[in-house]
Structure 1
Amino acid sequence: MLRFTRRACAAVLSSLAVHAAACAAPAAEPVPVRILLNWFAQPDQAGYWQAQQDKLGRDAGIAITVRQGGPRIQTIPQVASGQAEFGIANADDLLLARARGAPVRAVLAHLDHVPYTLVYHRNPAVKSIRDLRDRTFAVNLGSAYWEWLRHRYGLDGARSIPVSGDLSLFRNDPRMVQQGYSLYLPARMAQAGVAVQQVTLASLGYRSYGVLFTTDEMIRDRPALVRATVAAVRQGWRNYAANPAALRPLLTGLNQQIPPALYDSASRELIDTQLAGDPAKFGCMSAARWRELAAQLAAVKFLPAGFDAGSAFDRTLVPGCDS
C-alpha cells in the first residue's frame, strides 16, 4: 500500500493544479495586421483578399484584415502615420515618397508592372504612340508616368485633361485617348460597343512594380511579423492563381463595378501576364528595375540625380530572391 506524506500530497496536488491551469489557458490571440489597399476591391489586389478569406497567417500568429481603398485613401501617409501596418502602392509613388522623407519601404512586388494602358478608338493608321501626339489625353495630370511619356515620346504638344470615371467623353470623342488599366478598360469599352486599341505603359518601357510596403520601424522592430505577413500574402496569391473563382463572390460583392464576367476576364489576363512565372520567385524585386525607374523619374526632375533607389525597398523579406 502506497503512503504519501502531507508534504508529498501537497506537492502532487500543486503540480496537478498547474497542469490543469495550463490546459485551461486560452491560446494567444493572433496579432491583427491591417493591409490598406489603394482602390476599391478588384482582381489586381486579389492575393490580399485571398489571404484574408483563407485566414492565412494564423499559424504564424497573425490575423490579416484587408481595408478597401478609394479616391480619398492615400496609403503611403496613412501607413506612415500608423493607421495600418501595411499598404499597397505603385513603386514610382513609393520612390517619390521616400525622397520626401516618408519612412516606408516595399517588401514584396505583387505586380511585375502596374497594368496602366492608354486606350484609343480603333484606327489602323495608328502604328505607335507618336501617332497619337495630336490627340486629347485623359490622364492623371502631373503624374510621373505621364511626364515621362511626354518627355520620352515627344508628346509635349498633346492636350491633356484630368481622367475621370465618366467614359461618355471618350465614347463621344473619336480623338480622345483614355488612361486606364488593361485588365478593365478595354473590356468595359467592348461591352459598351466601342471598338478600341491600346498601348500599355509596360510596352513603352515604364514598368513600375505594384508593391506591398510597410514602415522602416516595422521592418526594424517587428521583422517576424513582417515576414509572416509576406509569407501569408504570397500564399494568398498562389491560392488565387490556382482557383480564381473562389474569390469571385467576395470581390464582386464588394465592388459592383466589377461584375462576374469582368472579374473572370481580368483574372485570366492577370494570371497569364503577371502570375505565370516561377511561383518560388513570386514577390521578388530586382534592384536593377528599381534603379531604372528612379532614373526615369530623375529624367523628368521628379527625383534628384543620384537618388538612392535602394532606400525604397527591402529585398530580404521574400525568400529565394537572387541578388
Structure 2
Amino acid sequence: MSTSTRAPVPAARSHAARSFAVRSLAVRSLAVLAMAGLSAVPASAAEKFSYLTNWFAQAEHGGYYQAKAEGLYDKAGIDAEIRMGGPQVNAMQLLLAGEVDAIMGYDFQVLNAVEKGLPAITVATTFQHDLQGAMTHADVPGLAGLKGKTILIASSSHTTFWPWLKAKYGLTDDQTKAYTFNLQPFFADPDTAQQAYSSSEPFQAQEKGVPVHFYLFAKDGYPPYGSTIVTTRKVMETRPEVLKAFIRASMQGWRDYMKDPAPGNALIKAANPKMSEAQIAYGIAKMRELGVLDGDGTVPIGSMTEARWKATDDYMVANGLLKPDTDWHRAFTTAFTADLDAKLN
C-alpha cells in the first residue's frame, strides 16, 4: 500500500478573464510537485491519528516520541498524537469505544479480546520480546534457582507468565506472594525474588545499591511480543494507508532514537517531568543489551511472524488461558509489516 498522497487537481474556473499564462503556471507547478514526490495537500489536511501508550512516558516509548520530535509523522502526512497511559487507564476500552485509533497492547490481551468476539487486531510490535522477567539477589544463578524461593508476583501475572514459569522450572503456587510494587520486602529478604520489568525494578535496586540479577523470560522461551500496536478492524479496513504510514514512521523513529535519543527524550521529559535522565539512560541501555527491538539485528523493527503468534496461542490454550476453538489468526496481521526495513545497524 502506498503512503503517498495524490496532489489534487484545482477545480476549473469559469472566469473568462483567466489568462492562458496563469493556467500554464498552475499546471507546471503541479508537475514540479509531482516530480519531486511532494503533496499539494495543505498541512491542515494531515490525517489525525492517536496512539495511547501503556504507561507514563519513558524510554520504552522513545521511538514514538522521536518520530514526533523529528517530524517523521508530519512528513508521512499524519497529525499524530501520542497519549500517555497509566494505572487508571483502560486502553482496550478506549480503543473499542473509538476514543483512540490505536493502543500499545499485549498479545494475551488481544487473544482474549478475539475470544470474546471483539474487533481488536495487532498490526505491528515495538519489541520482539516481552520485557518481563525476574529480579533475584546476586547469588541466584538463573531462573532454575528460583526453586525454594519466595516469589513476589502481581495478581494479573497468574494469567500471563506464571503458568509458563511454574511449568518450565517446577515451581509451585505456594511459593508466590503478592507483589504490591513496593520493593522493600525484596530488599529485606535475601531468599525472595520477584517479577520485574527490565528497566524498572533493577534500576530501583541499582539506585539503592543492592546487587541483583535480572533474567528476561523471553531468553528462556516465553513467547509473546512486547508493547504491540493494536487497532480495530474498522480502522484497519477504512484507513489502511494512514495506519501503514504511522507504523513506518514509528519504526523509523525507533531506529533514530537508538542512535541519538535526545529529540525523543526532550518530549518524554516534557510529558513526564518525573522521568529522570538516569532512568531513561538505563532503559535505553537495557533495550540495547537485550536486543529487543530488532532481535539483535535479525529482523526489521516492528515485524511479526505467524509462528510466534502460534506459540503464544499454544501456550495459552495449554494452560487454560484461552479457549481451544479461538481463531488466533484474527488476533494479528503481518500485512502492515511485511516490507518494513528499519534496523538498528
Which secondary structure does the structure 1 equivalent of 2:161 belong to? Answer: helix
User: For the Cα contact (< 8 Å) 2:70–2:263, is it kept in 1?
Assistant: no
Q: Kindly tell me: are residues 92 and 10 of structure 1, through their superposed partners in 2, closer, same or farther at Cα, counting changes over 3 Å?
A: closer
Which secondary structure does the structure 1 equivalent of 2:210 belong to? Answer: coil
Identity %: 27
Question: Shift of the alpha carbon at 1:207?
Answer: 2.8
Q: What does the per-residue CA deviation read over 1:48-88, in whole Å, with 9 as the maximum and x for residues that have no partner?
A: 11122223222332111100011011222211111100101
Q: What does the per-residue CA deviation read over 1:143-171, in whole Å, with 9 as the maximum and x for residues that have no partner?
A: 32112222332222443233233222221
Structure 1 residue 266 and structure 2 residue 287: aligned?
no
Match of residue 311, structure 2, among 274, 283, 292: 292
Match of residue 271, structure 2, among 254, 258, 283: 254
Paired amino acid for 1:245: A
d(CA) in 2 for partners of 1:244, 1:158: 44
Structure 1 residue 64 and structure 2 residue 83: aligned?
no
Q: Kindly tell me: are residues 290 and 320 of structure 1, through their superposed partners in 2, closer, same or farther at Cα, counting changes over 3 Å?
A: same
d(CA) in 1 for partners of 2:169, 2:297: 33
User: For the Cα contact (< 8 Å) 1:118–1:199, is it kept in 2?
Assistant: yes
Tell me what 1:11 maps to: 16
Aligned length: 311
Which secondary structure does the structure 2 equivalent of 1:316 belong to? Answer: coil
Paired amino acid for 2:337: V
User: For the Cα contact (< 8 Å) 1:137–1:178, is it kept in 2?
Assistant: yes
Tell me what 1:134 maps to: 148
Tell me what 1:313 maps to: 332
Greater Rg over alpha carbons, structure:
1
Q: Kindly tell me: are residues 279 and 235 of structure 1, through their superposed partners in 2, closer, same or farther at Cα, counting changes over 3 Å?
A: farther
Which secondary structure does the structure 2 equivalent of 1:174 belong to? Answer: coil
Paired amino acid for 2:262: A
Unpaired stretches in structure 2, ≥5 consecutive residues: 1-13, 30-40
Tell me what 2:6 maps to: none
Q: Within 5 A, what are the aligned runs for 1:10-89?
A: 11-13=16-18, 27-89=43-105
Q: Kindly tell me: are residues 202 and 278 of structure 1, through their superposed partners in 2, closer, same or farther at Cα, counting changes over 3 Å?
A: closer
Structure 1 residue 193 and structure 2 residue 209: aligned?
yes
User: For the Cα contact (< 8 Å) 1:56–1:63, is it kept in 2?
Assistant: no
Which secondary structure does the structure 2 equivalent of 1:179 belong to? Answer: strand
User: For the Cα contact (< 8 Å) 2:303–2:337, is it kept in 1?
Assistant: yes
Q: What does the per-residue CA deviation read over 1:278-308, in whole Å, with 9 as the maximum and x for residues that have no partner?
A: 5972211011011001111111100122533
Tell me what 1:235 maps to: 252
User: For the Cα contact (< 8 Å) 1:137–1:158, is it kept in 2?
Assistant: no
d(CA) in 2 for partners of 1:280, 1:122: 33
Paired amino acid for 1:81: A
User: For the Cα contact (< 8 Å) 1:51–1:64, is it kept in 2?
Assistant: no
User: For the Cα contact (< 8 Å) 2:101–2:231, is it kept in 1?
Assistant: yes
Paired amino acid for 2:236: I
Which secondary structure does the structure 1 equivalent of 2:134 belong to? Answer: strand
Using the size of structure 2 for normalisation, the TM-score is 0.81
d(CA) in 1 for partners of 2:209, 2:95: 41
Tell me what 2:321 maps to: 302
Tell me what 1:6 maps to: none
Q: Which has the larger displacement, 313-322 or 288-297?
A: 313-322
Paired amino acid for 1:274: V
Tell me what 1:245 maps to: 262
Structure 1 residue 152 and structure 2 residue 168: aligned?
yes
User: For the Cα contact (< 8 Å) 1:57–1:231, is it kept in 2?
Assistant: no
User: For the Cα contact (< 8 Å) 1:34–1:84, is it kept in 2?
Assistant: yes
Paired amino acid for 2:214: Q
Q: Kindly tell me: are residues 256 and 169 of structure 1, through their superposed partners in 2, closer, same or farther at Cα, counting changes over 3 Å?
A: farther
Q: Kindly tell me: are residues 266 and 226 of structure 1, through their superposed partners in 2, closer, same or farther at Cα, counting changes over 3 Å?
A: same
Tell me what 1:222 maps to: 239
Unpaired stretches in structure 1, ≥5 consecutive residues: 1-8
Match of residue 293, structure 2, among 275, 290, 293: 275
Tell me what 1:103 maps to: 119
d(CA) in 1 for partners of 2:146, 2:119: 39
Using the size of structure 1 for normalisation, the TM-score is 0.86
Show structure 1 runs of 4+ deviating over 6 A.
14-23
**RMSD of the alignment, in Å?**
2.9
d(CA) in 1 for partners of 2:250, 2:281: 21
Question: Shift of the alpha carbon at 1:249?
Answer: 2.8
Paired amino acid for 2:317: A
Paired amino acid for 2:119: P
d(CA) in 2 for partners of 1:130, 1:212: 33
Question: Shift of the alpha carbon at 1:18?
Answer: 9.1
d(CA) in 2 for partners of 1:10, 1:57: 39
Question: Shift of the alpha carbon at 1:127?
Answer: 3.9
Q: Kindly tell me: are residues 296 and 280 of structure 1, through their superposed partners in 2, closer, same or farther at Cα, counting changes over 3 Å?
A: closer
